[in-house]
Structure 1
Amino acid sequence: MLEIRDIAVHYGRHQALDKVALDVAKGEIVVILGANGAGKSTLLKTVAGLQAAVHGSTVTLDDHRLDGLPPHKVVEAGLALVPEGRGVFGELTVAENLAMGAYAQRARGDEARRLAQVLALFPKLAERRGQMVRTMSGGEQQMVAIGRALMSAPDILMLDEPSLGLSPLVCGELFDALEKVRDTGVGILLVEQNARRSLEMADRGYLLENGRIVGQGTAAALRDDENVRRAYLGAASAH
């Protein structure tokens, strides 16, 4: 279980996050919905150790404190981030990018089995293991980024806008893959612009506005909430 408590982040005088708290269990998908600038990316970066939080903020994974740890130690603890923009190594091949993901000590010794899982999840990568990543489409690069994160053997996988800029067909493939990842027991914390599709596959969700959690509930309850429908789904309630 990933437990986030009282996360606060300041950029100068601007408070980007204000006492954010949420949980993600293994084997569930939790989506964070919010407008641009709400603090979603800042939250994921803070949990991943890429952004410093205010003293008193805590992040724990299976009762192990992660707050204050450098990013590579966070990965070793079992938490991986696929950032917005993917962050793949364009001059390396698919196989080399995936191998980089298995650098963490926790992932060593099981690389072959995990690689087989990733290639089964994304068959296109199996066909293109020797291809240089910068020559691939955006959707294929996103598959590389997710596959690389999975190679680190995470208990919790965080994704920041994975469908951004991708075609509806490729988005569908990615979301289907994330559901399969959830079925393996990995917990997923998802920031996603496609609120409708993410709520269809998520178990629970949180609403983030101006750096604060202003609502939460099951995905079904959020889908049926009139305010959520108006703000994020582009429709008023049918009731």
Structure 2
Amino acid sequence: MLEVSQLSLRYGRHLALNEVSVQASEGETVVILGANGAGKSSLLKAIGGLVPAEAGSSVTLDGQPLIGVAAHRIPEMGVALVPEGRGVFGDLTVEENLLLGANPKRARATEANRHALVYELFPRLSERKRQMVRTMSGGEQQMVAIGRALMSNPRFLLLDEPSLGLAPIVVKELFGALRRVKETGVGMLVVEQNVSISLSIADRGYLMEAGRIVGEGSAEQLKGDEAVQRAFLGV
């Protein structure tokens, strides 16, 4: 269980997260919905150790605290973040980016299997394994970013706006791959602007507004919620 409890976060005087509590069970896909500026990305950054949380905040994985753990140690504990903007190494090849993802000790015993899985999920990467990532399209770079995170053998994958700036056909391909990732038992916490497609792969979801959780429910409940439909689905 990945559990966030009473998580608060400030950027200077600005309160970005206000006592946020969410959880995701092993193998579960949970989506975080909200308008721009709601605090969704800040939530993932706090879980991933990229920004410090306020005193009294709690983030745990099976009861082990993640707050205070250095960001580069979080993947070793089984949580991998795919940040908004991808964060790939553009002057390295696809293969080199993926191998960097396998650096945690927890990943080394299963490196060969993970490598095969990534190329099965994203055949285009297998075809272009020696290509410099900076020369690839945005969709291909996102595939590299997700593949690199999967190489760390994560129990939970944190995805920040994976479809941002991508063509609809690429988004469909990407989320098809994420459905297959889900089938492998990896849990996912997804922040996504494309609400319809994110709910199609999610088990549950939370609604965020102004740094707080203001609602939650199963994916089916959220799809049928009139407020969600008006705010996010254009119904």
User: Fold-level match, TM-score > 0.5?
Assistant: yes
Distance in 1, Cα, partners of 2:72 & 2:62: 18
| CA RMSD in angstroms, aligned pairs only | 0.7
1:150-165 matches, within 5 Å, as 150-165=150-165
How far has the Cα of 1:69 moved from its partner?
Answer: 0.6
Q: Partner residue of 1:121? A: 121
Cα deviation, 1:141-173, whole Å, max 9, x if unaligned, reads 000000000000000000000000101111001
Distance in 1, Cα, partners of 2:110 & 2:221: 39
Gaps of 5+ in 2: none
Q: Partner residue of 1:136? A: 136
Report SS of the residue matched to 1:208: strand
How far has the Cα of 1:109 moved from its partner?
Answer: 2.5
Q: Partner residue of 2:233? A: 233
Report SS of the residue matched to 2:163: coil
Cα deviation, 1:177-228, whole Å, max 9, x if unaligned, reads 1111111110000000000111122110000000000000001000101001
Q: Partner residue of 1:191? A: 191
Distance in 2, Cα, partners of 1:145 & 1:201: 19
Q: TM-score, normalised by structure 2?
A: 0.99
Q: Partner residue of 1:52? A: 52
Cα deviation, 1:93-138, whole Å, max 9, x if unaligned, reads 0000000000111111321111001100100011111000001111
1:1-239 matches, within 5 Å, as 1-235=1-235
How far has the Cα of 1:56 moved from its partner?
Answer: 1.0
Distance in 1, Cα, partners of 2:24 & 2:178: 15
Identity of aligned residues (%): 63
Q: How many residues align?
A: 235
Q: TM-score, normalised by structure 1?
A: 0.97
Farther off after superposition, 61-70 or 205-214: 61-70
Letter in 2 for 1:83: P
Cα deviation, 1:38-68, whole Å, max 9, x if unaligned, reads 0011110000000000011111111211111
Distance in 1, Cα, partners of 2:203 & 2:110: 29
Distance in 2, Cα, partners of 1:87 & 1:174: 17
Distance in 2, Cα, partners of 1:135 & 1:14: 38
Distance in 2, Cα, partners of 1:200 & 1:103: 32
Distance in 2, Cα, partners of 1:160 & 1:230: 23
